Amino acid sequence: MARTQILPSDPNKKKAWCATVAQDSIKEMYYSRLIGEEGTNSAIIRKVDTEAGSSNGGPGDEVTTALVAKLRGAPITEGKKLAGKEFKLQHAAHTMRVNEFRHGVNVGARIEQSRVGMNLKKQGRESLTRYIKEMYEEVLTIALSGARGTNVDEIQHFETTYAGYPNALRAPDSSHLFIGQAGTATKATLVAGDKMNLSTINKLRTKSKKMLGGQPDKAVKMTPVLKGGKSMFILAALPEVIQDIRDDVGSAGWFEAQKALTTAIGKESEIFKGGAGWFNGVLIDEVETGVKFNDYGAGANINAARSLFMGSNAGAIAHGTKGMADGLEVALDEDTDDRKHDHILFFEMIFGADKCAYNGMDYGLISVDTAFTAAV
């Protein structure tokens, strides 16, 4: 009886590998549970115009979103003419691009495989999966932060000179930058004791509520994230910042914040897995990837961490899958070098990440820079 064989060159094998790597990479990201379709109140929206099968399909590496400015002014009352006094619609646009990201791993020759008791190809695939996940997360984090920062631990794959790709980094505008415990400091006046606490979170929530719209001269209204029927803002902060908040409220106070998270949300909800606490309608989330600086303060020697206070549509991602086989987000393949002596695994993905901004002002995002207690 004939036996079915799946050869190493079978394209279905590669397709399965591609799909698995793409799925695993996205699933492990912090932001994966914050991503939603365009038009939803998700923290990160996924623009699909550059994807295969999109209703706006067609070649292109750029996506543009229009924002209609809020109408402002007194109504026309009795006895006054409306003619010539009608509102004029004003628009602002946010444009983001997608481009190639590639890398690979050389797993050596057959002799290397014969010398070890492990599957080097399997290790290579697993390592590529981890790399894609970390790289994707770092690109999105840096884009939202509007800066690369000076840290080399929490961001490992991009040099401190990285300026954004394919979308240039944009520093936060003054209306969406909150520095210090009370938000009243500047980069030059931040002191070592200006750490985040619960009063900072209260002030951030109030600041977001007072963004009432009226572009181009006023910040657009921040809308809470809506997930699982719950409305909230999200604060993504590095572990040192979370520790400062915990130290400020004490163990009893932090227990109350965690209890409030479970009571208000339910610990099994996907959106809140990993959530550190819940305070005044704000989900406090601990993240591993984030931006730090080492040049704050009068002497340019104060370390600062950038936390992200997010409402809906704080950032956007897009994938270019039109030219990818079967519409997959990640294309992986195998190759050989040196007359088939070395085996190489490599991937290619086309995507872009950006924070949403209109008329030079951020949208749905406040960048929060505070001093922090260094980990021991």
- Alpha-carbon distance of 206 to 212, in angstroms, equals 12
- pTM for the model stands at 0.83
Structurally, the chain folds into a number of domains equal to 1
Query: Taking Cα atoms as reference points, which of 262, 263, 204 lies closest to residue 236?
Result: 204
Name the band, by pLDDT with cuts 50, 70 and 90, for residue 132. Answer: confident
Q: Does residue 170 fall inside a structural domain?
A: yes
Confidence at 51, pLDDT banded by 50, 70, 90: low
Q: What pLDDT is stored for residue 56 in this prediction?
A: 54
- Residue 102 located in a structural domain: yes
pLDDT band at 2 (very low <50, low <70, confident <90, very high): very low
Residue pLDDT, tens place only, 193-240: 999 998 999 999 999 988 876 555 667 788 899 877 788 999 999 999
Nearest alpha carbon to residue 17 among 347, 240, 337, 317: 347
pLDDT at 4 over 80: no
d(CA 371, CA 298): 13
The pLDDT of residue 167: 95
Residue 1 lies inside a defined structural domain of this protein? no
- pLDDT tier for residue 94 given thresholds of 50, 70 and 90: confident
Give how far the C-alpha of residue 10 lies from the chain's centroid of Cα atoms, to the nearest Å.
Answer: 36
245's CB contacts (< 8 A; 6+ apart) are 196, 197, 198, 201, 237, 254, 277, 284
Residue 218 falls within a domain, yes or no? yes
Q: Residue 83 domain-assigned?
A: no
Reading phi first (left if > 0) and then psi (alpha if -120 to 50, else beta), residue 337 is in beta
Nearest in space to 175 (alpha carbons), one of 367, 305, 314, 42 = 367
Helices (H), the chain: 11-27, 110-115, 120-145, 198-209, 239-264
Q: Does pLDDT of 83 surpass 70?
A: yes
| pLDDT exceeds 50 at position 271 | no
Considering the domain boundaries, does residue 81 fall inside one?
A: no
| Torsions phi, psi for 219 (to 5 deg) | -65, 140
In a domain, 376, yes or no: no
Inside any domain, residue 45: yes
Segment holding 177, helix H or strand E: strand 177-179
pLDDT value at position 339?
A: 77
135-188 pLDDT, tens per residue?
999 999 999 999 999 999 999 999 999 999 999 999 999 999 999 999 999 999
Residue 272 has pLDDT above 60, yes or no: no
Residue reference for tokens 């992986």: 332
Q: What is the span of the domain harbouring residue 117?
A: 13-76+88-371
